[in-house]
Amino acid sequence: MENVHKWIYLIEVYFKLHRVPAEDYFSSVLFCMTGLAQGFACELVLLNNGQQLSWRGFKIVMRKAFGRNIA
């Protein structure tokens, strides 16, 4: 993930254009991720007793974990 802030913005635009309900953002985003980011997100679910995170909570954690550009 080169720039998490840009990625979050673009995925939210995509979800709005495709009328993805807000409550489905987290489960939908898992299929848009690959590699380290996807593994990290799945680990978050496991740490949350198998429960999905709120979209807001997920964005906070992702920005903390991947906030630095890695490109």
In the chain, domain spans = 4-66
What mean pLDDT comes out for the span 48-68? 92
* pTM metric for this prediction: 0.82
Burial of 33 (0-12, 13-18, 19+ CB in 10 A): middle
* 60 pLDDT higher than 90: yes
pLDDT at 2: 74
Tell me if 52 sits within 8 A of 45, measured CB to CB.
Answer: yes
Kindly report the length of the chain.
71
Summarised one tens digit per residue, pLDDT across range 4-28 is: 999 999 999 999 999 999 999 999 9
